[in-house]
């Protein structure tokens, strides 16, 4: 796979436990350095890596939950010329499952926002969530 930059960002609201938010991210992407920065709404949890390890764990989760076709569609909706951007439900991630969401509407505590910069987003999507549907 070609070079890419993987970024995560999510708000940690004053009513949330920071360790639980970190666990939600680790459930889907594994353990890698996360940074907490203060914000006017609590804290912002961010991470950035060039490693493919987080994507390997996420790819396994999509396969294990049998949602590759739905994931494929959701990822393509978030595709731009040089990146993929999508949101995941934080509460669902905490219990170890994948649920794509909108920026704010479907996730009262705010989503986990994932951005992957790559030269070929379509190829990365096909690798992460290969289609299983037959036409």
φ, ψ dihedrals at 91, nearest 5°: -65, -40
pTM: 0.91
Rounded CA-CA distance 130/113 in Å is 22
Rounded CA-CA distance 131/122 in Å is 12
**pLDDT tens digits for range 83-102:** 999 999 999 999 999 999 88
**Per-residue confidence (pLDDT) for residue 40, from 0 to 100:** 82
List of domains in the chain:
4-128 (3.30.1440.10)
Rounded CA-CA distance 53/84 in Å is 17
pLDDT (mean) for 14-31: 93
């Amino acid at each position: 796979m070609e070079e890419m930059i993987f970024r995560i960002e999510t708000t940690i609201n004053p009513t949330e436990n920071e360790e639980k938010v970190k666990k939600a991210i680790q459930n889907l992407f594994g353990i890698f350095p996360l940074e907490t920065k203060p914000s006017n709404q609590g804290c912002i949890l961010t991470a950035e890596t060039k490693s493919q390890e987080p994507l390997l764990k996420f790819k396994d989760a999509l396969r294990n939950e049998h949602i590759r076709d739905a994931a494929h569609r959701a990822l393509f909706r978030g595709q731009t010329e040089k990146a993929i951007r999508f949101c995941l439900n934080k509460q669902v991630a905490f219990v170890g499952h994948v649920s794509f969401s909108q920026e704010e509407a479907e996730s009262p505590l705010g989503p986990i926002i994932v951005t992957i910069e790559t030269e070929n987003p379509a190829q990365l999507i096909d690798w992460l969530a290969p289609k299983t549907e037959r036409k």
